[in-house]
Structure 1
Amino acid sequence: TELPPPGPWTVDPAHSSVAAVAQHLGISSVHGRFTHFSGAIEIAPDDVTKSRVEAVIRADSIDTGNGMRDGHLKSPDFLDVEKHPEITYRSTGVTAAAGSDRWTVHGELGMHGVVRPVDLDLAYLGTGADPWGGTRAAFRATAELHRDDFAMSYNQVVQAGIAAIGTTLKVELDIQAVQGESLPQG
């Protein structure tokens, strides 16, 4: 099983994305992303299963491409960014999954004042040099969240009993991390 070299890694927000997809009217998807976040990864030297991940997302940085919808998502019906300005994730363990580059990151997600266990399905995409003299590692992770688990049960039923907004969210993370505790300039 493979992970990047041991030590600290810093998530590079300029080359990473934190996105979510929700069903709309049962027939299409609405895509959103968070534009302000930070994260740190610690690859354990002797036992990679003891590696750690921490991330903080600014809840008010949600962007779905529609100002009215974004305003509603920031309201108490959903993220309630006034009371809960941060979404946090802290890993509690890492286990190998099928395939040498696949892992499950176990952790706790704090959102909307609720903390719940959430597993990330992680693919390690490789490590390489960057143009600024640093070393970068790339990861892709996905998870499925249930809005009700985080006290976000607002919905509107439209014709034929179809919910306007799906109850699950698919979270998609594309992460580049730079080796070390801070990002190089560039």
Structure 2
Amino acid sequence: MANEAVQEVAVAPWSIDPAHSSIQFKIRHMAIAWVRGSFRVRTGTLHLVKDNIAESRIEVDIDPASVNSGEVDRDTHLRNADFFDVARYPSIHFQSTGISGSPGSPVVAGDLTIRSVTRPVEVKVGEISAPTPDPWGSVRIAVTASVTINRKDFGLTWNKALETGGFLVGDDIFVDLDIEFVSNAK
């Protein structure tokens, strides 16, 4: 019976569980080292159509003010107008436009909006867990995914030239997502 409930819930809307989700990124510093950081997921929903993954859709809202690279001065700089300008742009938003590939390794195409600049991106899904009942009567799934974006495509152009050549901040941002979804459908 529990297995039947899990199968029924697999087609219901799912909400992101922000307490069990994370977005990690890394970007080159001075073309020699990586700076790593994270963002907090604010909200999101997944409408999963198990029998036809292409009809599924996802929407995610990320809090740019939550950026955390482990260095207070750098994080303050990332929040100001040189980068995310969180006072004017309090959200990073992703809305899927289509899903392709196999159910085991789909690619989610969508529109990513940063600083009111929207660009198409493709998120590669690496792993989707089986729906699993939790101790509180809900059902959960977890998804891992990754995407690479060029920060300049979104107006994040601040940089400093180095005396030795090159620039202080790299252009490509490598993003890893670990998202847990919960459904309360009975």
**Helix, strand or coil for the counterpart of 1:138?**
strand
In structure 1, distance between residues paired with 2:127 and 2:49:
15
2:153 aligned partner, one-letter code:
D
Corresponding residue for residue 55 of structure 2 = 50
Report the identity percentage.
Answer: 34
Distance 1:114 1:93 in 2: 20
Letter in 2 for 1:138: A
Residue 153, structure 1, aligned to residue 153, structure 2: no
Give the number of equivalent residue pairs: 176
Structure 2 residue aligned with 1:8: 13
Displacement of 1:11 in angstroms is 0.8
Provide the residue aligned with 1:63 in structure 2. 68
Q: For structure 2, which runs of at least 5 residues remain unmatched after alignment?
A: 1-8
Asked whether 1:113 is paired with 2:116, we answer yes
Query: Does 1:79 pair with 2:84?
Result: yes
Question: Do 1:6 and 1:42's aligned partners in 2 also have CA atoms closer than 8 Å?
Answer: yes
TM-score (norm 2): 0.89
From 28, 34, 47, the equivalent of 2:33 is 28
Cα 1:36–1:142, aligned 2, differ >3 Å: closer, same or farther? closer
Asked if structure 1 preserves the Cα contact closer than 8 Å seen for 2:23 and 2:41, the reply is no
1:131, distance to aligned residue in structure 2 (A): 2.4
Query: Following TM superposition, by how much is the alpha carbon of 1:129 offset from its aligned partner in structure 2, in angstroms?
Result: 2.2
Matched with 2:133 is 129
Q: Which runs of 5+ in 1 are unaligned?
A: 182-186
Q: What residue number does 1:184 align with?
A: none
* Secondary structure at 1:152 match in 2: coil
TM-score (norm 1): 0.89
What root-mean-square deviation, in Å, do the aligned CA atoms of Structure 1 and Structure 2 show? 1.6
| Deviations 1:79-132 (CA, angstroms, capped at 9, x unpaired) | 0111111110000011114xx510100100010120000110012331222222
